[in-house]
Amino acid sequence: MKNSFNLPQNKKKRVVIIGAGFAGLKLARKLINSPFQVVVMDKQNFHQFQPLFYQVATSGIEPSSISFPVRKIFQKHSNLHFRQTELLNIDHEQKYVITSNGPLSYDYLVIATGVTTNYFGSDNLEKYGLPMKTTAEAINLRNRILSSFEKAILTDDADKQSKLMSVVVVGGGPTGVELSGAIAEMRRYVLPKDYPELDFSRMKIYLYEASDRLLNGMSVEAGNKALYFLKELGVEVHLKTPIVDYNGDKVSLPDNKVKYARNLLWTAGVKGRFINGIPNEFWMRSGRIKVDSFNQLEGLHNVYAIGDISCISDDTEFENGHPQVAQVAIQQADNLARNILKGNKKKFKYKDKGSLATIGRNMAVADLPGVKFSGVFAWFLWLFVHLMAIVGVKNRFFIFVNWAQSYFSRDQSLRVLIQPYIRKKSV
């Protein structure tokens, strides 16, 4: 087959990894200096640290601090290659992938494409809701929040100001809880200094969750404590309240109730991206790919799926699939790398190292094996764990400096509106 990607021609077997997220990047790094030629493909040329998207959206850290060029990771390793391209199709019988830049053969194919936003079939929520699943979407969310206040200060209409200033967050998982808390702290400590002419009693922050508690992936104690912290910050939390519709101005709720806000932040669900060439029988609920205990698509030779996109169907402990969190992705990549390198088959077994979620300054919850706690110590533990997980020493340093500055000053200096450049048509 024609080599469309300018790869070295050698006798090494080729491992093609689709996606440079936690799973794909970890697998590639585990195969450094291995007897395989490793090719990572992604539409972006950088790795994104998703757990801190909400801090980009709320002007806490720079986008570049949570984005790391894949090529910098690969530059000292001759068997690792990166190609920025988009997957279009998979031919598992002929063992090649078709991309926007042409075909490429593989010996091992690993799908690690992650997930995207799930609007559960609502066209209006997809059209008017603001997602936060990529760095670009986090930047867009930051711009939307800041531009809303710039518009609010240009009018003396109280109702219009209230709509522009208020924020609706949908989804009571870690992202929704952390985003709500960060915005509430901006309202309390930061925005009134930037916009002293505005009446911040008009700024409402609503958090809607369809289930009966927050943080469903964590303990009941953690969910209850998160609810307490959010109320302390002035967030209006509504449980057992799904969103019916949204038209960009009016939020429709059950029992014909409505709320008005120009900013609806959607964190309520995720789904896998459909991939042409994968037979229908492998697709499960929410767009996850059914794999066996070795993360292989059963019956497809050397085709694997790891991370959020995968669902191990024969694990009785996780009947609906493992949690879609970074630790699962990393551990699956570790196990698959071991199997590829040693040529054996070790079943994947998830080791839960615990969960953390932060709500605000000195406010966090921790579920660790055998112990649950909250408050200041949980918050510092959250900071340390996330700081160590960042790729790149330079990124860790800049994030640490931003966090320290924000902690002692209760302010941020990153509230910059940078809009995409659009070339004006000549008259």
Mean pLDDT in consecutive groups of 10 residues from the start of the chain, 427 residues: 76 96 96 96 94 92 90 93 96 94 95 94 95 93 95 96 97 96 95 95 97 95 97 97 95 94 94 94 92 95 96 85 93 97 91 94 95 96 92 85 85 75 64
CATH of segment(s) 123-268: 3.50.50.100
Alpha-carbon distance of 84 to 101, in angstroms, equals 9
Please state the domain extents for the chain: 13-115+271-342, 123-268
Q: Which CATH number fits domain 13-115+271-342: 1.10.3720.10, 3.50.50.60, 3.40.640.10, 3.30.365.10?
A: 3.50.50.60
Type of residue numbered 359: I
- Asked if domains 13-115+271-342 and 123-268 share a fold, the reply is yes
Give pTM, 2 decimals.
0.92
Q: Are 124 and 36 in contact (CB under 8 A)?
A: no
**Cα 88 vs. chain centroid, distance in angstroms?**
22
For residue 138, what pLDDT is reported? Answer: 94
For residue 347, what pLDDT is reported? Answer: 95
For residue 320, what pLDDT is reported? Answer: 81
For residue 427, what pLDDT is reported? Answer: 54
